[in-house]
Amino acid sequence: MKSGFVAIVGRPNTGKSTLINALVGQKVAITSHHPNTTRHAIRGIVNGSDFQAVLVDTPGMHKPRTLLGRRLNEVVTESLEDVDIVIMTFPANEKSGVGDEHILNIVKSSRAKKIAVITKVDTAAKETLPVRLMEVGQLADWTEIIPVSAVKSMQIDLLTDLLSKHLPEGPKLYPEDQKSDQSIEKLICEHIREAAIKGVREELPHSITVTIDEMVKRENKDFYDIHATIHIERDSQRGILLGHKGETLKNIGMVARKDIESLIGTKCFLGLHIKVSKEWQKDPKMLERLGFME
């Protein structure tokens, strides 16, 4: 039996969350085309017949402009401590840059096995892929280099086999049927935030965070009542989130409820409330309440 921890790092928007969901076989990390969507070191758990890999999906390393931004960068560094394998993601349709160099320096200092994963190969021309593979291959002394498409499930099984191959011997760290170590409440918050980010498109993705106010199972029924608050930073953002006659918020609730019902395996009522928490990304007390200063 083999087991261990695998950190997934890379620049913002390089496909880390999509990759971890494909490996786990279930949505445990929200996805978006907006950079810095991931805010926690999310653990997804991959179970095989003779191995268990605990995947840590880290926020994209970036130049921080807020206290939250600095905390997210710290999460990346902390996630690389005491892991057995580091996966670094490189999009097939982009060239490496300064952001990659900064993360590479951290990765190179890790004692873990290092796997370079070329992501989004379905978006790149076939003739450019060998060039990209050679380019990434020269950046570090990689244990393995593999191109994948998480969206199309291309080579995900092969990447899983490579993780199994390079993990150390050890017992399972979590129950076999567990897919994540996140609480249900935190996963629900993330599903609501994902729906909200998509619902408001380009306008305020980084100003949104979500907390659960109440989650109660109805008496003698397999049905949950969930009430949550979507926090924004300015009064002017309330109208964007509400939309015309509340239609945007209503649609956010409908999309999130479907994901939540899939997650909890039963029907639910989802009530959403909007609250202006001014400059919450810069407020240490607010960040602590929201779980970013643990």
The CATH number linked to 13 is 3.40.50.300
Within this chain, do residues 138 and 247 fall inside the same structural domain, yes or no? Answer: no
Within this chain, do residues 16 and 89 fall inside the same structural domain, yes or no? Answer: yes
Within this chain, do residues 28 and 120 fall inside the same structural domain, yes or no? Answer: yes
Q: Tell me, what's the pLDDT at 74? A: 64
Q: Would residue 208 count as lying in a domain? A: yes
Residue type, 174: Y
Specify the number of domains making up the chain.
2
**Closest alpha carbon to 268 in 179, 185, 181:** 185
Within this chain, do residues 124 and 74 fall inside the same structural domain, yes or no? Answer: yes
Within this chain, do residues 40 and 155 fall inside the same structural domain, yes or no? Answer: yes
Q: Would residue 172 count as lying in a domain? A: no
Range of the domain at 102: 2-166
CATH number at residue 223: 3.30.300.20
Q: Cβ distance 15 to 120 under 8 Å?
A: yes
d(CA 133, CA 141): 13
pTM, full prediction:
0.69
Within this chain, do residues 151 and 6 fall inside the same structural domain, yes or no? Answer: yes
Each of the 294 residues of the chain gets a pLDDT tens digit; together they read 999 989 888 887 888 888 988 999 887 776 655 444 444 566 789 999 999 999 886 655 445 555 555 656 666 566 566 789 999 999 999 988 887 888 898 889 888 999 999 999 999 988 999 999 999 999 999 999 999 999 999 999 999 999 999 999 999 988 888 888 778 888 898 889 888 888 776 555 567 888 899 999 999 899 999 999 999 888 888 888 898 999 999 999 999 999 999 889 999 999 999 998 887 777 777 777 666 644
Q: How many CB atoms lie within 10 A of CB 265?
A: 7
Within this chain, do residues 20 and 135 fall inside the same structural domain, yes or no? Answer: yes
